[in-house]
Structures are given as C-alpha cells and as structure tokens.
C-alpha cells in the first residue's frame, strides 16, 4: 500500500501532533520519544517552536526547519488513528 500524503498537521498538548492524511484518516503522533532519543529533535521541547509545525508541499512530510522534520511514512506507520465513537 502506498503511504497517503499529508493534508495538514496541528500541534496538540503534550508534544503530540494531529495529522490529517489524503485518504481521510486522522492520526495522533507523539513526539516525546523523539525528543528524548534523538538530539536533532530537542528544539521541540520549546513550545513556541513546536507549534510552528507545517505540512510540507506535496504532503511528503512535516517540518519545523530544514533539519527538524518527519516523513509521511514515519507518521503513517507510528501514529495512532483517531477513532470517533
């Protein structure tokens, strides 16, 4: 299966992201493990910086800067789908 593209991303509380994909699925991704495991993601500890996340053109990922970013496949594979009951 091809990974769906990202339509939008929104910063949530507790270093989580709400990601909307082109197939209509919404998922929540927890960035906290990245911050503690990989030095490149430590800037995400800053709340103002964290909230500056944006979807990349074409939907191939999200980014804060050229060096702090995540691919659509990482988000699709490791985020938890939002289920509305």
What value does the mean pLDDT take over residues 10-26?
A: 97
Write down the residue that tokens 């919404």 correspond to: 26
Q: What is the pLDDT of residues 25-73, one digit of tens each?
A: 999 999 999 999 999 999 999 999 999 999 999 999 999 999 999 999 9
Which of 85, 84, 83, 78 is CA-nearest to residue 29?
A: 78
Task: With cut-offs at 50, 70 and 90, classify the pLDDT of residue 19.
Answer: very high
Round to whole Å and give the CA distance between 59 and 78. Answer: 17
pLDDT of residue 1: 60
Q: What's 12-53 look like in SS3?
A: CHHHEEEEEECCCCEEEEECHHHHHHCHHHHHHHCHHHHCCC
Q: How confident is the model at residue 85 (pLDDT cuts 50, 70, 90)?
A: confident
How far, in Å, CA of 44 to CA of 23, rounded?
A: 28
């Amino acid at each position: 299966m091809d990974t769906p593209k990202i339509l939008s991303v929104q910063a949530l509380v507790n270093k989580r992201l709400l990601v909307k994909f082109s197939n209509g699925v919404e998922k929540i991704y927890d960035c906290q493990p990245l911050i503690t495991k990989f030095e490149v993601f430590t800037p995400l500890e800053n709340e103002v910086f964290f909230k500056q996340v944006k979807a990349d053109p074409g939907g191939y990922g999200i980014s804060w800067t050229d060096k702090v970013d995540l691919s659509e496949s990482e988000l699709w594979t490791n985020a938890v789908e939002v289920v509305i009951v």
